Each structure stands twice: as C-alpha cells, then as structure tokens.
Structure 1
Amino acid sequence: MLRPFICLFVAALLLFQTSCSKKNEHNGAPPARPVHVSEAINHDVPVYIDAIGTLTAELSVDIQSQVTGKIISANFTEGQFVKKGDLLFEIDPNPYQAILNQSLALLSQNQADLDIAKWIVGKDKKLFETKAMSTQDYAKLMVAYDKAVGMVEADKATIWQNKINIEYCKITSPIDGITGKRLVDPGNIITANSGPTLVNIKTIDPLFVDFTISERNLLLLKDSMKKATLDVIVSASGFDSNYNNQIKHYEGTLQFVNNSIDPATGTIGLRAVIPNKDRELWPGQFINITLIYYIQKNALLVPNQAVTMGLKGEFVYVIKNGKAVLIWVKTGLKEGDYTIIDSVVGDEKIKPGDQLVTVGQMGLTPNTPVNIVGKDTFDLPSIEKILTENAKD
C-alpha cells in the first residue's frame, strides 16, 4: 500500500528540483546575444589631404612681332604642337632688305673714304715728323681719318641691325608647346613690339597644378617634407567615346610652397608638377588632388561599424572567450570601410585577427555572452580606391 505513495513522492520531489534548477538558471548568466563580427587587421594606409585645383602650363608665351610690317603667311595650324624654332609667321622682308642694301652701299662709300683718309695720314705723317707740316694741318687730317673710321663702324652697326630685322621677319616658336587660336590673319600690318598678340603657345609636358590647403595642415606638411619628396596624385574625369564617365589618375610631386599664408582665407598656396607625356591633361583643366603626407605602415584597422560613441568617447566590443569585452579606443583617420586605431585606453589590447562586433552592439553590456550569427567582410583601403572615391565626390 505504501509503494504507490512513495513513487508519487519521489516524482514530485524530482519535479520540484527541476523547477528550482530552471529558475536558478534563469536568474543566473544572461542568454547569449546574437551579433555579427569582423576582424581587426594590419594594413599600410596613406595619410593624405584632398584638395581641388586647376592645371596650368609651365610656360605660356604670347607671340608678338619685333618688327613692323605686313604678315605674308601663317605657317601653323591652330592647336598644333610646335617645337622650338618652328616657323609660325612671316613678315614681308622686302622693306628691310632694301634698307640693308642701302646700308651696304653706304658702307662701301664710307670704306672708300676711310681708305683715302688713311692713305693721306700715312703719306703726310713723315712731313709732320720733319716739321714740314704744321700741327694744325696734321690734326685736321687725323680728325678726318677718325670721322671716316666712325662712319664705317656706324654703317656696320646699321647693317647688323638690318640683318636682325630681316631675321625677325620670320617669327618662330620660342618653346615646345601647343598653339592656341590665331589672333591675327595674314595680310594685316602689325607694329613692332606694341602690336597685338599673334598667337599664344603653352607648354604641355609637364604641367603645374596650383592648389591651397588650410594653414592648420602646414606643420604636418613641413614635417613630412623634411623626410621625403611628397607625392601628389591628380584625378581627372571625363567621357570616353561611348559616353561612359572615366576617372584616370596621374602621379606627380610637390614642388613649391608659397612664402606666406593668405590672411583673408587662412590658406597657403602649393604647386605640384605632373608629367604629361601622353598629353591627356590640358592647361586650365579642373582636377581633384590628393597630397600624400606619408604612408602609415602596419596601421591597426577596425571596421567603421565596430566603433561606437559613448559618454567617455569611442569604444569597440571585442569577442574574448565567448563574451563581448568593451575596450575604449582613440581613433585616427577613416579610410574607406575602416578606421585607424591610434591607441586603446586601459589594459585590454586589440590585435590583428581579433573579432569585433559590427552588428548588435545596442543589446550588449560589458562581458555579455554572445552568439556569432554572421561574419561581415569589408573592402581593404587602397590608394586607388581612395582616389576613385574622391574623384567621384
């Protein structure tokens, strides 16, 4: 008779213990929270500043005539690449040739007068030395001789000037470059030196790019320049033959820092040199500029999504032993999908390969158990990606 009651008592006791066990379990450690994670990485990251600027020619020359006369020919095509010494315009040389011929004839006449004066001086010198000729008469002969010498020298100078004028009738390019629009047509008469510009020529390789940065970046700029020549990359966008927008990058170097800061804008002017052998860039073109101060080697990077702002600053959750450990951090530059970690606050460390919470931070408290339900991947920062994104902006 007692056996059924004993069995019932044992069953009730087991049920009570199970109930208490579940209650204690519920009141103990919190349940694991579902999160997404991604790894911290080491990567070389460029430290840079963005700017905008305009390409300019290294040399820009306005061609003017150095002689007065009529233009008889233009010997180039507008927009043509010309080399130093190539003929651009020709001025009618006939008036200057006529003046040269007159000068040559006058030289012959004055040279004959000089020869006679020289012969007379030589002949009468003995008379003067023997006192057979007065000093006054001999002095007159010497004056006549010196005058004849001066006339011949003046004629030679005039001939030299006329030859120069004839050379100036052929206007040649003083530089290698691209010609602009022809501003004066053949048939027009132009004035020497003060006349109109005939054409402009600009050098095309290399090109300058002028831009400005804030004075707040000057100290970093000067420190970086002490260590190495700074690289500058310009990005130009445009349509190809299929009307697709293309972005191309061109490398150059920083050449010049202005000697003063503009007090009105708080900026300082810089100039870089960009090689342009293929002539794809053009003076006056608007471009995006990336000035690279230096490359930060093996920078510690974490995904942007892992960084959260708190009352004391920024922090991340790192998964350690199945729990979310809160670590306060000091961040640096953001590069694409990643943020540079400059330092951590406290004893905890972040190492490459550590898993950081990227989704689910809102439901976490320090040392909360987590259940990883997804792993996120992000694009590594690269200078090519940075340049492309900057050019799009």
Structure 2
Amino acid sequence: MQRPDRFSACPMVLVACLSFFLLFGCSNDKAAMPQQRPMRAVSTVTMKTQAVTLSTELSGRTSAFRVAEIRPRVNGLIEKRLFTEGSNVKEGQVLYQIDPAPFQAELDNAQAALAEAKAKLPTTRLRAERYKSLVSHSALSQQDYDDAASKLDQVRASITSLEARVQTARINLGYTKVTAPISGRIGKSSVTDGAIVTAYQATALATIQQLDPIYVDVPQSTAEMLRMKALFKEGVVNPKEKDHKKVRLILEDGTPYPLDGTLQFSDVTVDPTTGSVILRLIFPNPKGEILPGMFVRAVITEGVNPQAILVPQQGVSRNPKGQPYALIVDKENKVELRMLTLDRAIGGDWLVAKGLAPGDRVIVEGAQMLRPGTVVNATALDQKPKGDSPAAKAAAKPAKKDAGGK
C-alpha cells in the first residue's frame, strides 16, 4: 500500500493560517488607527495699558549731616572732661577744660604792660606839643622837637601792640574751654583728665556728628541715568512734580523706614572705576534710628509711565540664549511666538518695553510643549472657575465607582 505524503495537507493549512491573519490583522489595524487629539486648553491674559509709577532701588550707605572733630587750640593740660561719651551735646557746650592759669597770667601781664604804656602817653604828648611851640619861636632846635614827636609815635605804637597782645591773651584764655562747634552726638574721648595736649594736634579729642537729618549716598550707573533722560525726552515717562524727588528707605534688616526723604543733588563727576555717579539723599532722623555707615537701600521715584504694559512673569520664558519671549494666541486661535524687550520687574509682573501691544492674549497657563502654529482652546484667566465655585468643586470631585469596583 502506498505511504501517504505528510506534506500533502500543507497547502490547506497555509491557506487557513493566511485567512486567519488577514481577518484579525485588519480588525487590529482599524482599532490601532490614531484618533484625532483634542485641542490644548490654555489660559491667557489680555494685555492692556495702564499708568505705572516707576521707581529704582539703589544700595548705599549713610553719612552724618555734619561732622566736627574736636581739637585743642592751645597747649596745656586737660583738667577735666565735661561730657558723657555717646551723649547728645549742644552747640557751645564746654567739653574739656584746659588749665587756664598760664593763660590768665599772660593776660594779666599784657594788661599791665598796656596800662603802663597808656600812662606814658599824656606826658609824651604834652612834651611834643610844648616843643612844637618853642620851635616856632626859635627857642628850641628842630632836632629836639623831632625827637619828642618820634617818642610820642613810639608810645602810641606800643599801646596798639599791647592792645593786640591783650586781645591774643584773652582769646587764648577762652580757648582753654574747648566747646562744641555743632549740636549732635559725641563719640568716645581720646584723652582723659591730666592728659597733655597741643594746639591743632593730629589726633582729635572727640568727634561730634549731627544725625538729624542724615545723608544717604547711593551710586547710580551713568547708563541708567542716560536711559532715564531718554525716556523723559521721548515722553515715555513723565516726572511728577510732587513725587519726583520723593525717596523711600529700606533698612539693613529689610524693614521700611517710616519717614520719606528727598533727592538733594546728583554729583557732577563720574567715578572712572565704577562708571557711576553719587546721588545724595537726605532723610529726617529725629529718633536717631539711622546711624552713619549703615548699609541701606533707597527706592527713588522716577516718574509715571502712562502707557505701561505689564505681563505676568509666568507668561514669559527664555530661549537657550537667555532672550525673553512670550506665547500669544492670535485671532485664529493659533499659537504665536513673540520676542520681548523687558524693562524691569514690578511685583509679580514684567514691564514690557517692546514686543507686546494692547489686546494681545498672552498664554500664562498650559504653555508647556506648545509650538507656534498650534491651534488651542484659549480661556481668559479671570474666567476660569474659582476654587470654591460649584464648577470647580464638580471638576475636582472624584468619579464614582460602579458596583464592580470599576
């Protein structure tokens, strides 16, 4: 009997397998076809112009309104110090007493010599007048009269010299009382009772600083100064007469100083090492809270930009080069990229100098992975459901499960 060929059934099997794969393969391809993605939902903020007061924050240090270094004007011995270190002193108050005895003796001596010279004056004057009459009658030689007249002039000159000597001695005696030239707070004393001092010595006895008002010196770059002048000239920023020179102060610990100051003047010389000029501000300091040498920050009011455009900071991104840009939604609800020129940060917004116009819708939420030209579903940020609204609660409420736990 003939053996059956084991490969005779192969064509039938191959046909069946091919039909199976074609049937189920087509159905799987239909199921795997990608469905159309829904439009991305984004939140936007519509740009509009508004009046914004511009200010600049500069760092600087405080300095005393007036400073006086106390030095003796005569040589002598300090008898007593008449003030408390660190206290407030008044103008004219005696601070040190130098031993006055030698100066009193010098004054007495000068006054005695002056009195002696004045006592000689009447006799010398009468002699000169008598000799003059005798010369006119040829009863006395001319030489004798000339000698008497010269003697009278010498006495008068001696009196003038001695009067100046008396005045000098009186001034030096007054200098033994070292007084305060200004009112203010006095620091530590460099000498004690019994110290020997010399006139106009290099080391000051003490230093007085007037702290009310007080200066604040802050540097401003010339580039910033020129930029502000250009804005004023173009009319972009209008200085306000009342507030243009108004200045606020922030202390070292970050607390604002309660009293406002004013911009006094701007220096006319540029520091070549820093490229900046010094702005001098003046602040009232009635309680002495601000001390010289403190590091502070001054907030200077520049003016008002009546057509400012502010964009939220979350709506601004930067490219790999660090250049700022924003994504906006155009009239066709397509994403468009705009390069921006930013001026400064004001609170949580950026002040835009160039790149945006009133009416532009800037994407502030949902901008991740968006590309220019993408069609989006834009919703104004202020129209989104609030956190406590029914719509928001319904969106946040989890879906109920069926009986099977699905």
- TM-score by shorter chain over 0.5: yes
Judge conservation of contact 2:46–2:380 (CA < 8 Å) in 1.
no
SS of match in other structure, 1:362 = coil
Are positions 1:255 and 2:264 aligned together?
A: yes
Larger CA deviation: 205-214 vs 277-286: 205-214
Is the Cα–Cα contact under 8 Å of residues 213 and 282 in structure 2 kept in the other structure?
A: yes
- Partner in structure 1 of residue 348 of structure 2: 337
Q: Could you say what secondary structure the match of 1:57 adopts?
A: strand
SS at match of 1:262: coil
Question: Which has the larger displacement, 311-320 or 44-53?
Answer: 311-320
Q: Distance in 2 between matches of 1:223 and 1:131?
A: 94
Structure 1 residues 142-163: Cα deviation after superposition (integer angstroms, max 9, x where no partner): 1111111111111111111111
Match of 2:164 in 1: 157
What residue in structure 1 maps to residue 134 of structure 2? 127
**Relative to structure 2, which stretch is displaced further, 332-341 or 163-172?**
332-341
Query: 1:157 & 1:42 partners in 2: Cα distance?
Result: 77
Task: Sort the Cα spacing of 1:248 and 1:293 in 2 relative to 1 into closer, same or farther, 3 A.
Answer: same
Partner of 1:361: 367
The answer (yes or no) to whether the contact 1:40–1:355 under 8 Å persists in 2 is: yes
Choose which of 231, 248, 260 in structure 2 pairs with 1:233.
248
Moved over 6 A (4+): 310-313
SS at match of 1:203: strand
TM-score (norm 1): 0.75
Are residues 49 and 162 of structure 1, via their aligned partners in 2, closer, same or farther at CA, if it must alter by over 3 Å?
same
1:106 aligns with 2:116: no
Structure 1 residue 316 corresponds to structure 2 residue 327: yes
3-state DSSP class of the match of 2:288?
coil
Unaligned 5+ residue runs, structure 2? 1-34, 234-238, 385-406
Question: For the residues of structure 2 that align with 1:274 and 1:157, how far apart are their CA atoms?
Answer: 46
User: How far apart are the structure 2 equivalents of 1:182 and 1:313?
Assistant: 58
Is 2:316–2:324's contact at 8 Å kept on the other side of the alignment? no
Q: How does 1:10-29 map to 2 (within 5 A)?
A: none
Distance 1:237 1:259 in 2: 28
Among 274, 283, 286, the alignment partner of 1:274 is 283
Aligned mate of 2:149, from 142, 148, 163: 142
* Percentage of identical aligned residues: 28
Give the structure 1 partner of residue 86 of structure 2: 79
- Whole-Å Cα distance in 1 between the matches of residues 69 and 383 of structure 2? 60
Change (3 A) 1:179 1:216: same
> How far does the alpha carbon of each residue in 1:320-367 deviate from its partner, in whole angstroms, 9 at most, with x for none?
69x46637364432212112233446xxx534xx76431101354547
**Distance change (3 Å), C-alpha of 1:45 and 1:170:** same
**1:350 matches 2:350:** no
Q: In structure 1, what is the Cα distance between the partners aligned to 2:145 and 2:352?
A: 101
Q: Which residue of 1 aligns with 2:195?
A: 188
Q: Size of the alignment, in residue pairs? A: 338
Could you say what secondary structure the match of 2:61 adopts?
strand
* Structure 2 SS opposite 1:357: strand
- 1:328 is aligned to 2:338: yes
The counterpart of 2:295, out of the listed 276, 286, 303, is 286
Structure 1 range deviating more: 99-108 or 250-259: 250-259
Output the amino acid matched with 2:303: Y
Q: Which amino acid aligns with 1:358?
A: V
Query: Quick one: distance in 2 between partners of 1:376 and 1:286?
Result: 46
